[in-house]
Structure 1
Amino acid sequence: MKKDSLRNWAIKVFIRDINLKRSTMIYLFFSLLSITFVAEAFLFKYAVLTGGLSVVGIEIYLFLITLAISFLISGPLVDKIKHRTKYFNITLLICLLGLIISAIPQTLLYYIGLFMILLTIPQLILLWFTILVHETNILNRGRITAYLMISGFSLGFISVIFIIYEFLYPILSILEFCIFFIVVWYSREYSYIETDERLKSDKKYLNIIFEKHFFRYSSSITVLSFIFGNLLAGYGFDIDFFIFALASFTYLIAAGCCLDNIGRKTSIVLGILLLSFFLVSFGSFIESSYIFGMPRKVFLSIHYGFSILPLLLAIFTISGDFSTERGNLKFRGRINSLFLSLLFFGAVIGFVFSIWINDIYDRFPIFENFLPNFPNLLNGFILVILLVWMMGMKEFLASKEKKWADSLKNIFVFNKHGICLYNYSFEKNELIKEETDEAGFDEDLISGALTGIIAIISEITNTKRELRQIQKEEATLLFTYGKYHIVALIASIELPVLFKKLDAFSRAFENKFSKELKNFKGNVTHFEPARFLLTKYFSKKYSEFSEK
C-alpha cells in the first residue's frame, strides 16, 4: 500500500500531465541543445578565460547590453514569423556560420562572427520559447522546461572542452552542424505554424506590460537580476563548475515541480527566502574562509547554482503563462523578450551600482557612521522589499486553470458517421447511456447531433477548417479530430489547458484503437478500455480510477 502511495505521489509530482509527443520532445531537446552548445562555449570563453566577471571591462558591458537590446529587437520579429520551426532552422544555420567565422584568427572576422552570434542567439531562444509554450500548458510547463534545461545545459557543458583545448575548437563547429542536421530531420515530423486566426487580438502591447500583475512579475524579475549583478560585483564568479552544475540541476527539478504543483507566486517566494539565507550567511561570515563548514568557493557555487538557471526557468514559465492568456498570443515573443532583456539590464545595473556604492564608501568613510556596512546589507534589504511587493501578486491564470477538473462535464468519442464509440459523464462519474431511460435520449443521438452541427457550420461558413469550439453561456463544447473519429468535450468554462488535454487524449485514443477504428463494424465494446485514457488525461489523481 505504501509502495503504491509513494508511486502515485511520484507520478503526481514529477510526470503527471506530461504527455508531449515523442517527435515534439526530441525536437525541443535538440533545438535547445544547439543553443546551449553555442551559449555555454561563448560564456566560458569570454567570461571565465578572460578573468571572470570579477574583472569586467567595457567589452563585457557592451556584450550584455547588446544581448539585452538584441532580445528587445528580436521579440517583434519572432511574433511576425508564422512558420516558427522553419525560421528556427534558418536562424540556427546563420548562427553556425557566425561560429565558424569567429574561429578564424583575424580580428575583423572574429567580430563579424561574434555579431552574427549575438544577433541570432536571442532569436533562437525566443523561437524555442514560443514552440515550448505552444506545446505545454499551465500544468506541466515548469517541469518540462526544467527537464529540458537540465538535459540541454548538462550536455552543453561538453562545449567547454573545445574551448579549454583550442586545437579542438573547429570540431565544435562540426558537432554543432551534426546537431543542426538532427534538428532539421525532426522538423520534418514536427512543425509549428501559427495562423492569423490564433494571432487575432484587440489588446495593445503597452497595455499588457503595464497591467498591474504583469508589471509586478516583470519588476520582480528585474530586482532579482539586480541582486544577481550586485552579487557578481561583490563576490565574482570564482566557482567550482561541478558543484555549480550539480546544485543547478538538483534545484531545477525541485523548482519545476514546485512551479507546477504549488503555484508560480508561492514557488518564487520560497526561492527568495532560500536566496536570502545565502545572502545573510555571506554577510555573517564575510571574513571567514568557511561557511557552515564549507569552503567559501563551494558555498558560492551552490548559491549561484540556486540562482542563475532557476531564474531562467522562472522567466520561461511566467512569461509563458502570460503569453497564453486570451489576446496575448500575438505578443508571445515580445513578452518573453521583455523578461529576458530585463534580466540582462538588471544584472548590468546591479553590477555597476555595486561598484559605485563601494567606491563611495571607500572614498568617504564617514558614510559608515550613518549606514554601516550598507553595501553588504543592500541585497538583504532589497529582498525584504521584494517579498512585500510580491504579496500583492495573484496566481494569474493558474488559479483558474488548476481547477480544470471541476469544469469537466461530458466527453463523447464518435466516428465520422455519428456513431458514439465511447462517452463519459464527469459529473455523474458514469456512462451517459445509463441515464438513457430518464433523459429521453441516448449517446448515439447526441453524437449524431454533434456530427450534424459540425457539418452544417462547415457548410454555412463554406470553409474546410475544422470547428474547434462552440460557446454557450453555461457551457463550452471543444472538438478535436482524428483520422477516423471526433472527440467532443463539454466543459463549464473555456481553458487553454483543456484543448491540450483533449488533443493528447485524441492522439492516444487513435494510437490505441487504430485497428478497431479502421475496421469498425458496429461493436463499441472494443473501446471500453478508453476509461484508462481518461485516467491518464482527465483525472487529477491517478488513484481515482481503478481497473475493473
Structure 2
Amino acid sequence: MKREAEAKASEIGTKEKIVQFIKNLEIPKKTEKLKKKSKEFFTKVFARDFKLTKHQLIELTIKSAILGVIMIFFLLTILAGIGEYQFSYELETSIFIVFGVSVMFGGIVTDVLMKFNYLYEILGFFTLIPMFIMVSVTIEIVIIVFAFILAIVSAWVLIMFFTEILRLTDLLNRARVVTLLLSVMAFMVAPIIPIIIFTESYTWVIIVATCLLIFSLYYHRKQSGEKQGEYFHVESLSLVKYFQLIRKSGGIPYLLFLIFTSFTLGFFASSAIEASFKTTEIITTSIVGVLSVPIIAVLLDNIGRKTAGYIILFLVGVFCIFFDYPVGTPFALNPFRMAVYVFSALMILILTGVIAGDLSAIYSRGRITGIFLFATFVGFILGSQLRVTYFSVDDFGNQDFIRQLADLSTLIIFIVTFLFSAAKDPFEDDTTIWREFLIRLYLISDNGLSMYNIDFRKIQDGEAVSPSEDLVSGGLTGLQAILKEISMSEQNIEVVKHGDMQIIFHYGEFTKAVLFVKKDLKVLREKLANF
C-alpha cells in the first residue's frame, strides 16, 4: 500500500510538472501574440497611409530646419534686439503687423508661382540679404527698414513651407506629417537659442541658414522639373475673389474658432507666464510639449478635425469657468495650467495647418493657408497684448475681477462652440477605409479618347467585367457636353449620382479624370486631384 501511495504521489507530481512545463511553453506564445497585436495597433495608428517617399521626407525635413533657423533669427532680433540696438514697443508691434498681413496675402504669391521649381530656396536666399545687413550695419534706420523687409520675406517662406507640406500630403496623413516636421523644427531651434544668448552673435546663424539652403538646392535638383497641380489663372486674382474662395471653402467657422480660442489662450497663457515661469513650469511645459505631439497627430488623423476642435474648446472652457478657484491664490496650480495651455496651443497650431490643407485645392493652398495662419497669429497676439496693455498680475488677486473675467471668457467659449457647430468636418466617418469605395478610374483626353483606365474591383475581388473603355470615355464626354448645354452653364460637372454609385470628375489642363465610387468622400476627391 505504501509503495502504491508513493507511486501515485510520484505520478501526480510528474503530471503537475508536465502541466507547468506546458504553461511555461505557452507564455512565449502569449508574448508573441501580444507583440503582434501591439505592432498591428501602432502600425494602424501611426503608420497607416503614411505615403511620403524617402526623398519627399528628407526634402521637407531640410526645409523645416531652414524655416526654424530663419524664424528664430527674426523673432529674437525683433524681441531681444540686435547688437546694441533694441526695437521699441511701437516698432515691434508694427513689424509684427506687417508680418501678419504678409502671411495673410503671401499665399497669393505662392499660388501664382507654385509651378516654378526652387521657389522655397529662392525665397530663403532672399531672407539672407536683410539678415546679413541687420547684423553688419549699426545705422538705426537701415536696421529698421530691413527688419520690415525680413518680416515680409519670412512670412512668404512660412507660407511656402506649409504649402509644400499640404501639397505632398492628404487627409489620411497630413496631421502626422505636420507634427513630425514641427518637431524637427523645434529640435533644430532648441540648441540655437542658448548659443545665441551665450555668444551674443547672430552671424553663425546666417552661416547655418546659408549651408542648409545650398544643401536643399542641391538635393532638390533630384526632383522632376515641374510641380504637380492644377493650372492657376492669374486673372482670377482679386480681393473679392480671394474672400469668395475662403467662403466657398467652408472655412469661416474654423476661422472664427481659431481667432477666439487663440485669443483666449493668448490672454490666459501670458498671465500664467508673467505670474510664474520658473523651473517647475519650464519642466512641465517641456514634458507636456514632447508628449502632446504624437497624441495630437493620432487624434487628428484618426478621430477627425472637428472632434479635436471640441477637445480644445472643452479644455479652454473648463479653465474659463474655474479660473477664479481658488480665489485667494489664482496661480496656485500654475504648472498644471501651463500644461493645459501648451497642449491646447500645440493642437491649435497643428490644426491650423491641417484644416487649411483639408479645405483647399492644390491651386489655392497658399491663400487658404495664409488666412488660417493669420487668424491664429492675430488671435494669440491680440490676447497677449490685451493682457499686457490693460491688466497687471496684481489684478488677478482681485476676487471680483477674476470672476468677471471668468464669466466673460466662458461666454466667448460658449459663442465659439455654437459657431463651430456649423463647421463641416472634412475627415468623414469612412475616410480611413476609403479603398473599399473604389470602383473604376478613367483618364480621358479633351477630345474624348481614353488614355488610361483601371477596375479596382478586379484588383480586390477578381470579379466584374468592365465595359469598353472607348464607350465609357465617349459617353462621359458626351454626358458632360449635353449637361453643360442644357444648363447653359460654363461650369464643369463635378459629381453625378447614379443609383448606388457616384461619378466624380476632376479637370486638368489637357485631360480629365473620372472616378466611379460607392461613396463620395473628401479624401477620394483629394487623391483624384493629385493623380
Q: Does the 8 A contact of 1:41 with 1:159 survive in 2?
A: no
Instruction: Specify the code of the residue in structure 2 equivalent to 1:159.
Output: I
Counterpart for residue 382 of structure 1: 412
After TM superposition, the structure 1 = structure 2 runs for residues 428-447 of structure 1, keeping only pairs within 5 Å, are 429-432=460-463
Alpha-carbon distance in structure 1 between the residues aligned to 2:212 and 2:314: 39
Instruction: Specify the code of the residue in structure 2 equivalent to 1:81.
Output: L
Instruction: Specify the code of the residue in structure 2 equivalent to 1:2.
Output: L
Q: Does the 8 A contact of 1:218 with 1:339 survive in 2?
A: yes
1:489-513: per-residue Cα shift (whole Å, max 9, x none)? 7534666644776899x9xxxxxxx
Counterpart for residue 22 of structure 1: 54
Q: Does the 8 A contact of 2:231 with 2:363 survive in 1?
A: no
Alpha-carbon distance in structure 2 between the residues aligned to 1:163 and 1:285: 40
Q: Does the 8 A contact of 1:281 with 1:291 survive in 2?
A: no
Q: Does the 8 A contact of 2:246 with 2:252 survive in 1?
A: yes
Alpha-carbon distance in structure 2 between the residues aligned to 1:83 and 1:196: 9
Counterpart for residue 348 of structure 1: 381
Cα distance change of structure 1 residues 267 and 421 upon mapping to structure 2, 3 Å threshold: closer
Cα distance change of structure 1 residues 411 and 9 upon mapping to structure 2, 3 Å threshold: farther
Q: Does the 8 A contact of 1:478 with 1:490 survive in 2?
A: no
Counterpart for residue 305 of structure 2: 264
Is 1:67 matched up with 2:108? no
* Uncovered stretches (5+) of structure 1, i.e. residues with no partner: 413-417, 436-440, 459-468, 480-486, 507-548
Give the CA deviation at 1:280: 5.2
Alpha-carbon distance in structure 2 between the residues aligned to 1:206 and 1:169: 39
Counterpart for residue 183 of structure 1: 216
After TM superposition, the structure 1 = structure 2 runs for residues 481-520 of structure 1, keeping only pairs within 5 Å, are 491-492=517-518, 497-498=523-524
Give the CA deviation at 1:165: 2.0
Q: Does the 8 A contact of 2:120 with 2:157 survive in 1?
A: yes
Q: Does the 8 A contact of 1:247 with 1:305 survive in 2?
A: yes
Counterpart for residue 404 of structure 1: 434
Alpha-carbon distance in structure 1 between the residues aligned to 2:284 and 2:80: 16
Give the CA deviation at 1:120: 1.1
Which secondary structure does the structure 2 equivalent of 1:394 belong to? coil
Counterpart for residue 2 of structure 1: 34
Alpha-carbon distance in structure 2 between the residues aligned to 1:228 and 1:140: 27
Give the CA deviation at 1:470: 11
Give the CA deviation at 1:11: 1.2
Alpha-carbon distance in structure 1 between the residues aligned to 2:233 and 2:436: 29
Counterpart for residue 352 of structure 2: 315
Instruction: Specify the code of the residue in structure 2 equivalent to 1:250.
Output: L
1:421-456: per-residue Cα shift (whole Å, max 9, x none)? 997527x95213xx6xxxxx6x8xx7xx5499899x
Alpha-carbon distance in structure 1 between the residues aligned to 2:495 and 2:76: 53
Which secondary structure does the structure 2 equivalent of 1:17 belong to? coil
Specify which of 227, 231, 234 is matched with residue 264 of structure 2: 227
Is 1:339 matched up with 2:372? yes
Alpha-carbon distance in structure 1 between the residues aligned to 2:368 and 2:383: 22
Specify which of 197, 207, 215 is matched with residue 164 of structure 1: 197
Alpha-carbon distance in structure 1 between the residues aligned to 2:402 and 2:339: 28
Which secondary structure does the structure 2 equivalent of 1:257 belong to? helix
Instruction: Specify the code of the residue in structure 2 equivalent to 1:270.
Output: I
Q: Does the 8 A contact of 1:94 with 1:116 survive in 2?
A: no
Counterpart for residue 392 of structure 1: 422
Counterpart for residue 129 of structure 2: 97
Q: Does the 8 A contact of 1:230 with 1:353 survive in 2?
A: yes
Q: Does the 8 A contact of 1:478 with 1:488 survive in 2?
A: yes
Alpha-carbon distance in structure 2 between the residues aligned to 1:219 and 1:15: 32
1:451-502: per-residue Cα shift (whole Å, max 9, x none)? 99899x99xxxxxxxxxx99876455999xxxxxxx9975346666447768
Q: Does the 8 A contact of 2:74 with 2:151 survive in 1?
A: no
Q: Does the 8 A contact of 1:79 with 1:332 survive in 2?
A: yes
Give the CA deviation at 1:252: 2.2
Instruction: Specify the code of the residue in structure 2 equivalent to 1:231.
Output: F
Alpha-carbon distance in structure 1 between the residues aligned to 2:494 and 2:408: 54
Cα distance change of structure 1 residues 128 and 384 upon mapping to structure 2, 3 Å threshold: same
Specify which of 292, 306, 313 is matched with residue 251 of structure 1: 292
Instruction: Specify the code of the residue in structure 1 equivalent to 2:416.
Output: L
Is 1:302 matched up with 2:334? no
Alpha-carbon distance in structure 1 between the residues aligned to 2:426 and 2:528: 23
Counterpart for residue 67 of structure 2: 35
Is 1:124 matched up with 2:172? no
Instruction: Specify the code of the residue in structure 1 equivalent to 2:52.
Output: L
What percentage of aligned pairs have identical amino acids? 19
Alpha-carbon distance in structure 1 between the residues aligned to 2:77 and 2:328: 31
Instruction: Specify the code of the residue in structure 2 equivalent to 1:430.
Output: D
Cα distance change of structure 1 residues 167 and 43 upon mapping to structure 2, 3 Å threshold: closer
Instruction: Specify the code of the residue in structure 1 equivalent to 2:152.
Output: L
After TM superposition, the structure 1 = structure 2 runs for residues 147-158 of structure 1, keeping only pairs within 5 Å, are 147-158=180-191
Instruction: Specify the code of the residue in structure 1 equivalent to 2:64.
Output: L
Alpha-carbon distance in structure 1 between the residues aligned to 2:270 and 2:528: 49
Which secondary structure does the structure 2 equivalent of 1:283 belong to? coil
Which secondary structure does the structure 2 equivalent of 1:103 belong to? helix
Instruction: Specify the code of the residue in structure 2 equivalent to 1:346.
Output: G
Cα distance change of structure 1 residues 43 and 15 upon mapping to structure 2, 3 Å threshold: same
1:230-253: per-residue Cα shift (whole Å, max 9, x none)? 225533464655543432232122
After TM superposition, the structure 1 = structure 2 runs for residues 50-61 of structure 1, keeping only pairs within 5 Å, are 57-61=89-93
Give the CA deviation at 1:214: 1.9
Q: Does the 8 A contact of 1:205 with 1:331 survive in 2?
A: no
Cα distance change of structure 1 residues 172 and 300 upon mapping to structure 2, 3 Å threshold: farther
Give the CA deviation at 1:4: 2.3
Cα distance change of structure 1 residues 82 and 254 upon mapping to structure 2, 3 Å threshold: same
Q: Does the 8 A contact of 1:83 with 1:194 survive in 2?
A: yes
Cα distance change of structure 1 residues 190 and 313 upon mapping to structure 2, 3 Å threshold: farther
**Matched residue pairs, number?**
452
Q: Does the 8 A contact of 2:256 with 2:419 survive in 1?
A: no
1:69-89: per-residue Cα shift (whole Å, max 9, x none)? 111231222221133542211
Give the CA deviation at 1:397: 5.8
Give the CA deviation at 1:25: 1.1
Q: Does the 8 A contact of 1:102 with 1:110 survive in 2?
A: yes
Greater CA radius of gyration, 1 or 2? 2
Which secondary structure does the structure 1 equivalent of 2:435 belong to? helix
Counterpart for residue 207 of structure 2: 174
Counterpart for residue 227 of structure 2: 193
Cα distance change of structure 1 residues 498 and 9 upon mapping to structure 2, 3 Å threshold: same
Q: Does the 8 A contact of 1:104 with 1:110 survive in 2?
A: no
1:383-421: per-residue Cα shift (whole Å, max 9, x none)? 233223322322136457556234212589xxxxx9x99
1:363-396: per-residue Cα shift (whole Å, max 9, x none)? xx9xx87x77313543333223322332232213
Instruction: Specify the code of the residue in structure 1 equivalent to 2:246.
Output: I
Is 1:138 matched up with 2:138? no
Give the CA deviation at 1:206: 2.3
Instruction: Specify the code of the residue in structure 2 equivalent to 1:20.
Output: L
Give the CA deviation at 1:314: 0.8
Q: Does the 8 A contact of 1:84 with 1:131 survive in 2?
A: no
* Uncovered stretches (5+) of structure 2, i.e. residues with no partner: 1-32, 443-449, 478-492, 507-512
Q: Does the 8 A contact of 2:178 with 2:350 survive in 1?
A: yes
Give the CA deviation at 1:161: 2.8
Instruction: Specify the code of the residue in structure 1 equivalent to 2:287.
Output: L
Counterpart for residue 526 of structure 1: none
After TM superposition, the structure 1 = structure 2 runs for residues 458-477 of structure 1, keeping only pairs within 5 Å, are 474=498, 476=503
